[in-house]
Structures are given as structure tokens and as C-alpha cells.
Amino acid sequence: MSQSPVMVNPLKEGLKIEQASEPCAMVVLGAHGDLTKRKLVPALFALHQQGLLPPGFCIVGMSRTKMSDDEFRQSMARSIQQFAPEIPFDQSTWERFAAFLYYLPSNFGKEEGLFDLAKLLKELEQRHGTRGNNIFYMATPPSLYGQIVDRLAESGLTQMHPGLKAPWPRIIVEKPFGRDLSSARELDLHIHNSFEEEQVYRIDHYLGKETVQNIMVLRFANGIFEPLWNRQHVDHVQITNAETIGVEGRGGYYEEAGNMRDMIQNHMLQLLSLVAMEPPISLDAEATRDEKTKVLKSMRPFDLKSLKKFAVRGQYGQGFIAGQPVPGYRQEESVSGESKTETFTALKLFIDNWRWADVPFYVRSGKRLGRAITEVAIHFKRAPHRLFSLDADDGGQALGPNALVLQIQPDEGICLKFATKQPGPTTQLRWLSMDFKYGTAFGVRSPSAYERLVHDCIQGDATLFARTDAVDASWSLISPILQEWAQTPCNQFPNYAAGSWGPAESDEMLLADGRAWRII
């Protein structure tokens, strides 16, 4: 395999040249699952096509399903063509990739299974030159994390030299990172018995999306935005994650998790921390994560006595999506007919620091909503003196505020909303939008989130991964709400129809402040 070329990290805007990655093996624990087929192997294949995998790299899939190396390779080839059609697939490129793809059928929850893995990794070290560097990707149910870490330690696979020198082990952990504050801390203690924090990569795929990565560049590489990015000029911030789909056969998981654990505690709070953070002293991973964690630690705790003013929960009932009837949540497979699980959450949050004092951050996330979209909208304050109205027939309506919208998905881009004069002999104003779309601006395929995040882990760059103190801070904020909701189940579920924009209480929360959710 040819030497991987030096790559300039777009997030670092050319200011720092990345070093070539060290050789290593990636072990995918739970390799027969959907995550591996839909996201992980397609991402690794795309990195291989771009020459971004290091020499001496190999992949070991591991699960209980019995199959040979060749059967596993054939299965992964079909998965790439089915789930990642945007990635060019040709047989010769695939055969070069498949040559370092292996499979070990084994029960990784049992001691002997990981000893078999240790033996295979030793053989691959000699065959491919991995130097004993291993990345363990936990593509398993979270309930198995602790057990697997114990088995890895018992088999000697977590040992390393002082100073993080080769051979090194790293572990990638998928969310959820616990179910609440106490379980998250327990999981961390378990992992830290075998891995140092520098070896732990808690993956949140939202942070690998192009627009999310671009938030720091937008703010800190442009002189026109950062001076306005504070309480003096920003009226409020809205962060929306809306899905048209239901639980898609994952009712059993969702009954245990709910929207707050599934989306708010991780994805949405991570987005918020990037939007609200202070400029880091450098682009070093720890400097960036320090600033994000400060935001989470500055979040104002909820007053549980008046929680309904700051937190809204909902559950979808029957309705229509794209003109087609869809069932309510309680009619979904593996969901209780009396379920009290929330499929929608809206929060009003405050950051008690110098930059954001008294600026509300409204966050909402839900399933079976009117449109599939994730965005961050920065709503600026209105012009201080009213000179114009929108048009001659608006009854004197005052000109509204400007908004800068960062669209995360499905069409990644940035939009700035501003007022301009409509051509003609009279002064009539209209809103216009200045749009930038990744798909049209650069004319190239945007890499998937997993491509970016897996590549960063291989390089040892933890910038886009959650650190233990950030996870602790987010659970400290969210756990009291979950406890309160568990003690006071909502008797009005379902309280919004599929295809709508959530329960009426969500709109009322903003209306009480004289604001409204952005029309999407």
C-alpha cells in the first residue's frame, strides 16, 4: 500500500499540517450490526480510496455470527453498495481494501474470546506491520461496554508504554454514555480502570458533519461575525433537530432511552457548546475541549418547581407524513400501549457567563415532525430605531430581526437573512437570504461524519470527541429533569400529531417570552 499523503485539516484552516498516521489495527466489536454495515466500513473504504489510511493498517471484525474472512468481505462489499451509493465502487479498489479486512467469530464477552483476538492481532502485527497499535471500536449495545473492557484488560490488550508511545491502545465508545449522571460516572470509572482519558474517544457523529466543523471557522476566521456573537447583539438562539421518521423498528431501545437521552444530552448540547464557546487559545484538542466544557459547566440548573416553563415533553400520535397516514408512537413495534416515553423535547436554557448572560437558547428535538432538518439559528436583536416596515400594506409591522442559520442536515450550508429594498419608485422592503450550500459551492462529495471522526481517531486527534468532564456536565444538567419526569409521568400523551411541529406547550414556551420558533 502506498504512503498516505499529508492532509490539511479543513477545521484547522491550513494553519497546522497534520502528521502522517501511525500504523494500527482497528477492531470492530459488533461487526455484524447495522452501524458497521451502514456507517463504519463505508467510511473506512472511502478513507482508503482517498489514501488517508496509514500503511500497515488493517481491520478485524468481531461478532458472534459464524463466517469466514471471505464471507465477511463479501458482506461488507454488499453493504457499501447498498448503504453508501455515493461512494464510487470498483472491484480493483475493493480488492486492495479487502486484503486487510479480517473476521473473528467469537463471543467477546467471554475471556477466551479476547485471548483469541490478542493472538490474531499479534499475527497481524507481523503480517501488516501494525506495531501493536490497536483501536477498539465498541459497535455493541452499551450494556456490554463494561464487560468488554474487562475482557480486553484480562487479555493484555489495554497495556501500553508510558507517555502514550507505541504500542498504544485506543477505544471508541458510541453514545449513549450512560443513562444518567450516576451510570455515566460508573461507566467512566470502569473504562478508566483500563484506559487513560487520552485513549478514550467518545464518538458523537453530529460533530463530524461539515457545517458543525465549520462553526469554529465561521466564528474565529471571519472578522464580521465574532464581534456580534454575544449578548449585546444576539437576542436568542434556536437549535432544532426534526425528524419525519418514527422509531423505525427500534421501539425497544427508544422505550429505554427517550428523546432526552437519545438526542438532547449528547448531540444538541454538543452543538450548543460549539456555538457558545469562547475562542480557544489554540487548535489543540484539549484547548478546544476546555472551552466547550466551560459552556456546559456554565449552564443554569433547572428550577424543578417551575420546570414546565423551561422544559416541554411530547409524544406523537397518529398523523400524516408526506400525505401518508402513519401510526402513533404507542402503535409502534415493541412500544407499550401505555408508554410515557417522550419522543419530543423542547428546552429553554441559559448560560451564566459574561458573553451570554440572559440570552435564551431554545433547543428542540423530535420524531414525526413536519420536516426532516437540523439547524442552528442565531437571531440577532432588532434595529434599535424603527424607520421601515416590510411593505406598504403590512399595517405598519416593524422590520423583524436578522438571522444567521447554520443548516446541519440534510443540505449542509449557511444562510444569512437580511432586509433589502425592493426595486421600484417606493420604499418597500423584502427579506432576502444569502445562501451557501456545500454541495454546490465546492462541487465535491462531502465526507460522511464517520469518515472525519474515524480518521481523527487514527491520527490521535480528539478535538471532535466528548471528554469525560463534558459528559459529566451535560448529565448534571439533564438528569434532574429525567428524575422529575419519571416521578410525574405525563398523562396527556400523545400530545402532538405526527406531521406537526410538536405539542402546543413548545410554542407557548417561546410565546411567553414574546418569541416564536423559526418557520422552517
**Tell me, what CATH number does 305's domain have?**
3.30.360.10
**Where is average pLDDT lowest: 18-22, 155-159, 354-358, 480-484?**
18-22
Q: What is the DSSP string of 87-120?
A: S---HHHHHHHHTTEEEEE--TTSHHHHHHHHHH
Q: What is the arithmetic mean of pLDDT over 62-81?
A: 94
Residues contacting 103, CB < 8 A, separation 6+: 31, 60, 61, 62, 67, 68, 69, 71, 72, 73
Cis peptide before 280 (omega within 30 of 0): no
Of the three residues 174, 194, 218, the one that is the final residue of a domain is 174
pLDDT for 166: 66
Residue 338 and residue 333: Cα distance in Å, rounded? 13
Per-residue pLDDT band for 4 (boundaries 50, 70, 90) equals very low
Q: Could you tell me which residue, 446 or 510, shows the higher pLDDT?
A: 510
pLDDT for 433: 81
pLDDT for 54: 94
Per-residue pLDDT band for 162 (boundaries 50, 70, 90) equals low
Q: What is the arithmetic mean of pLDDT over 287-299?
A: 96
pLDDT for 372: 96
Catalytic residue among 32, 236, 267, 379: 267
Query: Quick one: 140 and 288 in the same domain?
Result: no
Q: What is the arithmetic mean of pLDDT over 251-275?
A: 93
Q: What is the arithmetic mean of pLDDT over 476-502?
A: 95
Residues 170, 201 contacting (CB under 8 angstroms): yes
Where residue 92 sits, what CATH number does that domain have? 3.40.50.720
Residue 51 is classified by DSSP as T
pLDDT for 49: 94
Q: Which structural domain range is residue 60 located in?
A: 10-174
pLDDT for 44: 96
Q: Any catalytic annotation for residue 267?
A: yes
Buried/exposed 341-359: b ≥16 CB within 10 Å, e otherwise: bbbbbbbbbbbeeebbeeb
Query: Quick one: 368 and 499 in the same domain?
Result: yes
Rg (CA), the chain: 24
- Residue 190 is assigned to a structural domain of this protein: no
Among residues 175, 189, 184, which one has the least CA distance to residue 264? 175
Query: Quick one: 297 and 407 in the same domain?
Result: yes
- Residue 520 is assigned to a structural domain of this protein: no
What is the percent of the chain where pLDDT is above 70?
92
Residues 230, 356 contacting (CB under 8 angstroms): yes
- Residue 66 is assigned to a structural domain of this protein: yes
Query: Quick one: 291 and 238 in the same domain?
Result: yes
- Residue 183 is assigned to a structural domain of this protein: no
CA separation, residue 229 to residues 221, 234, 235, 379 (Å): 13, 7, 10, 10
Per-residue pLDDT band for 17 (boundaries 50, 70, 90) equals very low
- Residue 4 is assigned to a structural domain of this protein: no
Is the pLDDT confidence value at 420 over 70? yes
Query: Quick one: 87 and 232 in the same domain?
Result: no
Is the pLDDT confidence value at 395 over 70? no
- Residue 5 is assigned to a structural domain of this protein: no
Per-residue pLDDT band for 16 (boundaries 50, 70, 90) equals very low
Our separate counts of H helices and E strands in the chain read 15, 18
pLDDT for 109: 67
Q: What is the DSSP string of 146-160?
A: HHHHHHHHHTTTT--
Q: What is the arithmetic mean of pLDDT over 250-268?
A: 92
Residue 378 and residue 395: Cα distance in Å, rounded? 27
Residues 344, 364 contacting (CB under 8 angstroms): yes
Query: Which spans in 155-268 are helix H?
Result: 181-192, 210-220, 251-259
Per residue in 374-394, pLDDT (tens digit) is 999 999 998 777 776 655 454
- 214 burial level (CB within 10 Å; 0-12, 13-18, 19+): buried
Is the pLDDT confidence value at 97 over 90? yes
Q: How many domains does the chain have?
A: 2
Reported residue count of the chain is 520
- 228 burial level (CB within 10 Å; 0-12, 13-18, 19+): middle
pLDDT for 163: 54
At CB < 8 A and 24+ separation, what contacts does 65-69 make? 65/32, 65/105, 66/105, 67/103, 67/105, 68/103, 69/101, 69/102, 69/103
- Residue 322 is assigned to a structural domain of this protein: yes
pLDDT for 161: 58
Q: What is the arithmetic mean of pLDDT over 201-214?
A: 88
Residue 365 and residue 409: Cα distance in Å, rounded? 13
- Residue 516 is assigned to a structural domain of this protein: no
Is the pLDDT confidence value at 401 over 60? yes
Among residues 225, 507, 229, which one has the least CA distance to residue 366? 507
Is the pLDDT confidence value at 289 over 60? yes
pLDDT for 269: 96
Q: Which of 343-357, 397-411, 442-456 reaches the highest mean pLDDT? A: 343-357
pLDDT for 341: 96
- 1 burial level (CB within 10 Å; 0-12, 13-18, 19+): middle
pLDDT for 512: 96
**Mean pLDDT for all residues in the chain:** 89
Q: What is the arithmetic mean of pLDDT over 102-130?
A: 88
